[in-house]
Amino acid sequence: MKILFCGDLVGRSGRDVVLQNLPGLRTELGLDFVVVNAENAAHGFGLTGKICDELFEAGADAITTGNHVWDQREIVSYIDSNPRVLRPLNYTQGTPGAGASVIQARDGRKVLVVNVMCRLFMELLDDPFVAVDRVLQSHLVGAAVDAVLIDVHGEATSEKAALGHICDGRASLVVGTHTHVPTADTQVLPGGTAFQSDAGMCGDYDSVIGMKKDIAVARFRSKLVSERLSPATGPATLCGVYVETDDKTGLALRAAPLVLGGRLRPAWPDFLPPRAAAST
């Protein structure tokens, strides 16, 4: 399978860069499955049903979230009725929605998508290691499902890396979100699981992790600043991870970062033919 994971969408700029590029990327890369983290898509805080519908129409197959999932209250009923939109798996029992879902790709293959949240410097949710382990035990990659994709939403690289290693050989991809900065550790772990500590964000990088820099800087310098953070609105960069898996085992054959547009240096998988033209 050919899989693309897009990092945290931040505000309108982040939405636009994904909505504009995703239809073309599905064709150009022959993508079989696309996951987008959209927890910051609605003006930087949460997401709405309308945004989810737009992302699905553009080519997303699943949407993951994180600690801002409930910031827009209208999402509660939407997420409870749409298994393609996930909230963190390790919320307490009875929380609306699901943290793991088997989703059918366009060609009929089954993909388990898992969304889990870390605990270091985050909310004290249930144990993410136990939660992930329980799901993987009942969804064997290459047997029960054709691929397993895990979004690890967390602050600490160490915790995300540890989760990656306990999933090695049991997942196609483990990728971090939340810090909004793409890391340079894209790899296929020894057991065959693709891993990157953080996919980065889809948003304006002339900012403080996607938010307008003047407001963010002022808030660091003075606790008297009352203006609410809001997303930067300049040209956005699309940051993600591209993975190819073995059709028999569901494990990763190769993985690479994908970076398009905006301010960051572009990155295109070096094992693919060069792009004929740059995307906007």
| Residue 162 in tokens | 């540890």
User: Helices 157-166 and 128-137, interaxial angle, to 10°?
Assistant: 20
Out of 68, 153, 178, 180, which one is annotated catalytic? 68
Q: Is the dihedral of CA 140, 145, 146, 149 positive or negative?
A: negative
Is residue 7 within 8 Å of residue 239, measured between CB atoms? yes
What's the angle, vertex CA 32, arms to CA 30 and CA 37, rounded to 5? 110
Q: Is the dihedral of CA 57, 58, 64, 69 positive or negative?
A: negative
Q: Clarify whether 68 is annotated catalytic.
A: yes
Other beta carbons within 10 angstroms of residue 76's beta carbon come to 15
The residues annotated with a catalytic role in the active site are 68
